[in-house]
Amino acid sequence: MDIKKLKVKPGSNVKLVDRDADDSYGYTKEQAEQELQKQQARLTDLQELLYAERKHSLLVILQAMDAGGKDGTIRHVMSGVNPQSCHVTSFKAPTAEELGHDFLWRVHKAVPIKGNIGIFNRSHYEDVLVVRVHNLVPKSLWSKRYDHINNFERVLAENSSMKILKFFLHISKDEQKKRLLERLRDPRKVWKANPGDIEERKYWNDYMRAYEDALSKCSTEVAPWYVIPADKKWFRNMVVSEIIVEALESLHMKYPKPIFDPSKIVIK
């Protein structure tokens, strides 16, 4: 898959209606599942290298509408990853303490250390999404956050050698309805159902506008956004894993050389 097609070109204007959430670029389910397996194996090796070298870290940011597939993506794409050097942070509505700080305070504390993979299930982007849609802070505050976010992400990339990948899992409104209904009707899924999600769905168009702005204003060379067609879970999993693998390969990591001569060591 030519993943450049899914990258938001820095400075471009994203229109989500122009992007088909159901697209699979000619791939069949079987092909995509095979490809995913290949990428999972490569990711296992690349993670080991990342940890051994400890020069870079990887931050994967996942954003989506409710039932958009953030949890499923983590489960499938990361299934070959060693949990010892990988950490998932789920960002919920901020606590009173978090609200007493700037919006990036809780986020900065959660970014991965060199050698590690960090996954954000929601992120600082909620502060220009749900916060904007529901006017949780005045426009004069949230409208400055796009610049704050770009500056913050540049610090992470340039000062901490962090590879940052941001995925918007793009589902259609119909697919969301299908998945929300499935949650309500399947006894094994009903624990995930949240009447608040049905309420939130009424703001779909406002969310799309907020997403378009976040994607357009905050896709940069050091922290690009990818819009992932996500109605087909198997396609979503394949491309997210491909993008992660390609990003790690672009780092040209090497196992560190030992500071001693292993051939001179004798074990009796």
Closest-CA residue to 203 (of 129, 254, 119, 262): 129
Q: Which of residues 98-157 bind Mg ion (CB under 5 A)?
A: none
- Binding residues for ligand AMP, rule CB under 6 A, total 10
Nearer to ligand AMP, 103 or 235 (CB): 103
Shortest distance, position 72 Cβ to ligand AMP, whole Å: 13
Contacts with Mg ion, 45-84, as mask; x by CB under 5 A: ---------------------x------------------
Does the protein bind ligand AMP through residue 94 (CB under 6 A)? yes
208 interface partner picked from Mg ion, ligand AMP, none, CB below 5 to 8 A per type: none
Does the protein bind Mg ion through residue 200 (CB under 5 A)? no
Nearer to Mg ion, 66 or 231 (CB): 66
Does the protein bind ligand AMP through residue 153 (CB under 6 A)? no
Does the protein bind ligand AMP through residue 17 (CB under 6 A)? no
| Cβ–Cβ under 8 Å, residues 171 and 230 | yes
| Cβ–Cβ under 8 Å, residues 209 and 127 | no
Strand 57-64: give its sheet, edge to edge. 86-90, 117-121, 57-64, 162-170, 225-229
Does the protein bind ligand AMP through residue 25 (CB under 6 A)? no
Does the protein bind ligand AMP through residue 80 (CB under 6 A)? no
Side chain identity at 140, as an amino acid letter?
Answer: S
Closest-CA residue to 241 (of 32, 8, 20): 32
Does the protein bind ligand AMP through residue 202 (CB under 6 A)? no
Side chain identity at 54, as an amino acid letter?
Answer: R
Does the protein bind ligand AMP through residue 127 (CB under 6 A)? yes
Does the protein bind ligand AMP through residue 167 (CB under 6 A)? no
Scanning 86-94, 138-146, 218-226, 229-237 for contacts with ligand AMP by CB under 6 A, the matching segment is 86-94
Shortest distance, position 89 Cβ to Mg ion, whole Å: 16
By the criterion CB under 6 A, which residues form the site for ligand AMP? 91-94, 122, 126-127, 130-131, 136
By the criterion CB under 5 A, which residues form the site for Mg ion? 66
